Structure 1
Amino acid sequence: MREIKCDACHHINREGTELCESCGKPLVEKQQAEGKETKKLLNMRYDGSSRRSMTYNKSVVDRVWNFFSSVKVGVTLIVITLIASAVGTILPQQMYIPQNVQPEVHYKDQYGLIGQIYYQLGLHELYSSWWYMILIALIGISIIIASIDRVVPLYRALKNQKPTRHTTFIQRQRLHSKTDDVTDADKHTFISNLKRMRYKVTEDNGHVLAEKGRFSRWGPYVNHVGLIIFLLGALLRFVPFMYIDDFVWVREGETVVVPDTNGEYFIENKDFIIETYGDSEEDTRFKEALENQSGPIAKNFQTNAVIYRNVETVVGAEPQLEKFKEDSILVNHALKFDGFALYQTSYQLNEFKSMSFIIHETNDADETELASFKVDLTNPAEEYQLDNGFRVMIDQYFPDYYIDDGEPRSQTKNPKNPAFVFLVYPPDSSEPEVSFAGIGRNVDASGENQYKVGLQDFEVRDVTGLTVRKDYTLPILGLGGIIFMIGVIQGMYWQHRRVWIHPKNNGLWLAAHTNKNWFGIKKDIEKAIMKTNINMVVDQEQEEQELQKQQEQNK
């Protein structure tokens, strides 16, 4: 790397440095055609320190670094991610559709061709897709590289704050003034007033630097740290150990394993309770509103549940359950245990539990029972040996029966509208009769059956839908958000203000700079020079703008 030596103080500077890190003298600048020194104000960003992305451009690593350090690249990545996130909100994500339906069927039936395309493109699981995670990771990489590329020169610039500065550095600051005759008393008064305004004053052989609010310069980088932590928390949501968001249906009286607990925890639905508006006298005040509704409105639905822990540690052995916790799960009251939380999110009333069928002769008007059998809809048997020598086999089972192009199909795996195709073997017969039976349906497949299968009775039960959630990323997201807001406040409500006093013969030159709020630093200087002979600083940038405006008007 080429080094640049300052001809004023002989300090060795890195390649790309615009202002000497020791005295502040401009190292590289364009001269005017007449050979006169330019009056252009100094570029005080990072006090002219060199940035890696502006200096190195030889290897592949340099090009990658320069690419990600660009603010344009970072903004572009953020815009692409925002557009992708917006597309993900056009239709509901898969986690928000009913849990008991097939996604490809749901999107096609509910949203037509658009829904089908949406599903085929994988947009129904956008936020967990690999390319969306890559976008988030690229944003994080861009923030990290851009921060390092800028924080290093900023650190060098702030570390090398010296009272003694080159004359050109003082003269070409935005705020500048010259005073020819200044007494020591005036200078002392000025410095004392700055100290009272909480400026940190450093002196060196008559040269003075008054500074305050330096910490505010780190505000944007504190923002970046908070944002990186937040993005890290978002990415950790795709790690099963850190974040779980699952769903489970539990029927009354049923004990099932809690998803994503590796068989360690089980939940029993002891009772499901639902209360609707209109059930109590207090709800009479809603009578008029309730009459306009098509059906009952749930006021409260809850699950009285018991959590069991499997104490059997041998893999493949039958679980040995011991009671771990018992509580009621309501909409706004989750049941929490061992980092997990169960939320009441859905329910189904009157789901079929079992159905009883009878067999009678087809021509028997009285439907005299010849045999009967009961089918457990949760776990139906394949074959039933009945009285009088009858044998029945279940050929096809449709838990949620419907007709599609003349063919019986099932919409879901839950027994909402059960239907069966039975093979009925009469006594002493090896040839079965085929019968179709369901709610309100009894079809003789051949039209020549001697025996008929008819529905006798059924049992129903309620089913509760619980969301299983485990989230260790919330503290990380919260920490990132807090750090981000600290950075916002740090950079928004404070400014880095610097005032230089440069002795010149019997007078002094005054210069000032701030990263923002120039009006504020002018007011500070105005208060500090009160009752002194020191001249007020002039805004040279404003003067230049007014001069250009006058020249344009004269033309």
Structure 2
Amino acid sequence: MRAFLKEIARDLYTFFTSITLAIVLISLIALLALLGTLIPQETFTREVDYIARYGVEGYNTLKKLQLTNIFGSWYFLFLMALFTLNLAACTHKRLMASWRYWKLPMGFIRPEDLKRFEHSYAISGSVCSDASPKIREVLQRHGYRVREHNSQILAEKWRWERFGIDVFHISLVIVIFGGLVTMLFGYRTFAIAHQGDVLRLPGADFAVRVNRFWSENYKNSERVMDWRTELTVIENDKEILTKTIEVNAPLRYKGYNFYQSAFGTDWQGAARVTLALFRADGTALGEFVGTVDDGFAVPSENIFVKIGAFLPDFALTENLIAYSRTQRLENPAVFVEIYDAQGFRLMRTWAFSRPEMQRFWETTMARVGGETPYRIKLVGMTAPEFTGLQITKDPGRPIVYFGFLFVIVGLLVHMYFKHRQIWVHISENEIVIAGTVRNNLKSFAEEFRRLVREIERLQIVTHPESELVV
């Protein structure tokens, strides 16, 4: 049984250390990330906008496949989990190889073999007795760690650079872990706020009040240059701090971030409309004022008019679902329902500001559903300005930053430091110098020449005859 489990563990280790698996996973993750940029994601997209773009069936299909929330879907998280395991297994495998390389000491190499190195230099002649300490001093001056073994000087530097790529791999695991921390414990939302609103966040022991907000235009232009919002943090009924935020200059407090994200008139969320109400025979019942998600009573008729929605630019999808094409007052419309005293719905309809749209709608509804007991016209509308705040809590951000820092460190070590080794064999009538480097042969060739020239200038060989191979 133990042998069987060991075999399964070995097969799993082989599977997760596969480069092919890494390529497949990276390709799939990149494909999903691309889809996530092409298909609007739920955080900042309304349901009606999906329906307007894809239709009811298309939207339901996207939602069922979790394509409107790709980065939170089970299959994206599953791929990320597999990639993390693959990366961790590959890192372990390479780290073990790097450790074995680190523990492998430089050893004695015969002089005839040293002469076959790509970088080698032989000086023949009578060698002085103090040659060894002088050569050691030259090598140490160039940063080499030096020791002697069997009449050979063994020098090396930057053996640790082999771990640079391992640091890079470990850093990627740290970055992924930081993203997972944010996904599990983070917070992200988009809030539409009006002047004086107090925002309370889940899990936070403070609130944020919106004092005021405004926009700034370019000089002699109506083009908006910047949006600004003044926020005050309130904790334990005390004002802690006040800050004016703008794009790319958020308020940060206790791990929460408040970004300036939008600005405009809140037609769809807080419109206040004036409606003219008529009986079916044309008798005017007066003008009444109400707000979205509320309404007004008409005592003379013993009815209640509920205002369900306001669209500043009314349009219909192919499936006859109403939505607003823009946030400008191009074709304003209000959806109303009328209830009797017992709560029974008498009718529901859209009321328009544009006369031609009102006539078209009433005519169409009369043909489809017959006469209605009341007629309604939209005669006025106002709405407060709003500021749009993107609110986030990203507890994994320090971990991600830490990971990226070491990604850079690992890459720099891997790119600019390469393990270098020098052998110097000293005999009575010859000095053989040879060197090797793990990579970057060109830069090592230049350093090897400098070392040879400095050793030659020591004049530790009389009547020298040299042979250089580079």
TM-score (norm 2): 0.75
**Of 304, 329, 333, the match for 1:393:** 304
Q: Could you tell me whether the CA contact under 8 Å between 1:301 and 1:330 is conserved in 2?
A: yes
Distance of 1:273 and 1:205 partners within structure 2: 81
- Counterpart code for 1:392: I
Change (3 A) 1:135 1:256: same
Instruction: State the partner residue of 1:225.
Output: 170
Change (3 A) 1:514 1:84: same
**Of 100, 108, 115, the match for 1:156:** 100
Which secondary structure does the structure 2 equivalent of 1:397 belong to? strand
Superposition deviation, residue 406 in structure 1: 9.5
Change (3 A) 1:142 1:516: same
Which secondary structure does the structure 2 equivalent of 1:218 belong to? helix
Distance of 2:319 and 2:163 partners within structure 1: 71
What's the CA shift string for 1:344-368, capped at 9, x where partnerless?
2112316253334465566567x47
Change (3 A) 1:102 1:514: same
Instruction: State the partner residue of 1:213.
Output: 158
Superposition deviation, residue 103 in structure 1: 5.7
- Counterpart code for 1:274: S
What's the CA shift string for 1:508-545, capped at 9, x where partnerless?
65442211233245424532542444744546xxxxxx
Q: Does 1:144 align with 2:93?
A: no
**Of 380, 400, 407, the match for 1:484:** 407
- Counterpart code for 1:78: I
Instruction: State the partner residue of 1:38.
Output: none
Distance of 1:133 and 1:431 partners within structure 2: 48
Higher mean C-alpha displacement, 147-156 vs 173-182: 173-182
Q: Could you tell me whether the CA contact under 8 Å between 1:510 and 1:537 is conserved in 2?
A: no
Distance of 2:343 and 2:111 partners within structure 1: 113
Distance of 2:345 and 2:47 partners within structure 1: 34
Distance of 1:405 and 1:481 partners within structure 2: 47
Distance of 2:416 and 2:204 partners within structure 1: 53
Q: Does 1:301 align with 2:301?
A: no
Q: Does 1:438 align with 2:351?
A: yes
Distance of 2:88 and 2:465 partners within structure 1: 45
Instruction: State the partner residue of 1:105.
Output: 51
Q: Does 1:493 align with 2:408?
A: no
Change (3 A) 1:195 1:305: closer
Q: Could you tell me whether the CA contact under 8 Å between 1:250 and 1:268 is conserved in 2?
A: no
Q: Could you tell me whether the CA contact under 8 Å between 2:334 and 2:378 is conserved in 1?
A: no
Distance of 1:101 and 1:537 partners within structure 2: 76
Q: Does 1:376 align with 2:291?
A: yes
Q: Could you tell me whether the CA contact under 8 Å between 1:303 and 1:329 is conserved in 2?
A: yes
**Of 205, 214, 220, the match for 1:273:** 214
Instruction: State the partner residue of 1:47.
Output: none
Change (3 A) 1:84 1:461: closer
Q: State the aligned residue count.
A: 439
What's the CA shift string for 1:463-488, capped at 9, x where partnerless?
22110022232322222222122222
- Counterpart code for 2:38: I
Distance of 1:139 and 1:431 partners within structure 2: 57
What's the CA shift string for 1:21-70, capped at 9, x where partnerless?
xxxxxxxxxxxxxxxxxxxxxxxxxxxxxxxxxxxx96121122223334
What's the CA shift string for 1:122-155, capped at 9, x where partnerless?
3443333333333333333333322332333433
Instruction: State the partner residue of 1:13.
Output: none
Distance of 1:476 and 1:255 partners within structure 2: 31
Change (3 A) 1:364 1:201: closer
Distance of 1:190 and 1:430 partners within structure 2: 102
Instruction: State the partner residue of 1:527.
Output: 453
Instruction: State the partner residue of 1:199.
Output: 144
Q: Does 1:330 align with 2:278?
A: no
The percentage of aligned residue pairs carrying the same residue is 18
Change (3 A) 1:501 1:120: same
Q: Could you tell me whether the CA contact under 8 Å between 1:435 and 1:453 is conserved in 2?
A: no
Distance of 1:146 and 1:407 partners within structure 2: 54
Change (3 A) 1:535 1:220: farther
- Counterpart code for 1:527: R
Distance of 1:202 and 1:140 partners within structure 2: 42
What's the CA shift string for 1:313-334, capped at 9, x where partnerless?
xxxxxxxx66554443333432
The unaligned stretches of length 5 or more in structure 2 are: none
Q: Could you tell me whether the CA contact under 8 Å between 1:424 and 1:435 is conserved in 2?
A: no
What's the CA shift string for 1:183-215, capped at 9, x where partnerless?
244843544432333322201342321112223
Instruction: State the partner residue of 2:37.
Output: 89
Change (3 A) 1:196 1:124: same
Superposition deviation, residue 170 in structure 1: 5.2
Instruction: State the partner residue of 1:29.
Output: none
Q: Could you tell me whether the CA contact under 8 Å between 1:199 and 1:210 is conserved in 2?
A: yes
Superposition deviation, residue 248 in structure 1: 0.9
- Counterpart code for 2:16: F
TM-score (norm 1): 0.65
Instruction: State the partner residue of 1:354.
Output: 272
What's the CA shift string for 1:438-464, capped at 9, x where partnerless?
233485968767765555654421222
Change (3 A) 1:528 1:71: farther
Q: Could you tell me whether the CA contact under 8 Å between 1:424 and 1:434 is conserved in 2?
A: no
Distance of 2:348 and 2:139 partners within structure 1: 99
Distance of 2:172 and 2:249 partners within structure 1: 31
Distance of 1:494 and 1:431 partners within structure 2: 81
Change (3 A) 1:121 1:528: farther
- Counterpart code for 1:355: V
Instruction: State the partner residue of 2:200.
Output: 257
Change (3 A) 1:500 1:483: same
Judging by fraction of residues, say which structure has more strand: 2
Distance of 1:106 and 1:360 partners within structure 2: 33
**Greater radius of gyration (CA):** 1
Instruction: State the partner residue of 2:8.
Output: 60
Superposition deviation, residue 341 in structure 1: 1.9
Superposition deviation, residue 247 in structure 1: 0.5
Distance of 2:230 and 2:427 partners within structure 1: 86
Change (3 A) 1:217 1:448: closer
Distance of 1:239 and 1:449 partners within structure 2: 52
Distance of 1:406 and 1:116 partners within structure 2: 13
Q: Could you tell me whether the CA contact under 8 Å between 1:306 and 1:323 is conserved in 2?
A: yes
Q: Could you tell me whether the CA contact under 8 Å between 1:209 and 1:498 is conserved in 2?
A: yes
| Pairing 1:398-437 to 2, within 5 Å after superposition | 398-400=309-311, 409=322, 417-423=333-339, 434=347, 436=349
RMSD: 4.3
Higher RCO, Cα 8 Å, sep 6+: 2
Q: Could you tell me whether the CA contact under 8 Å between 1:194 and 1:528 is conserved in 2?
A: no
- Counterpart code for 1:353: A
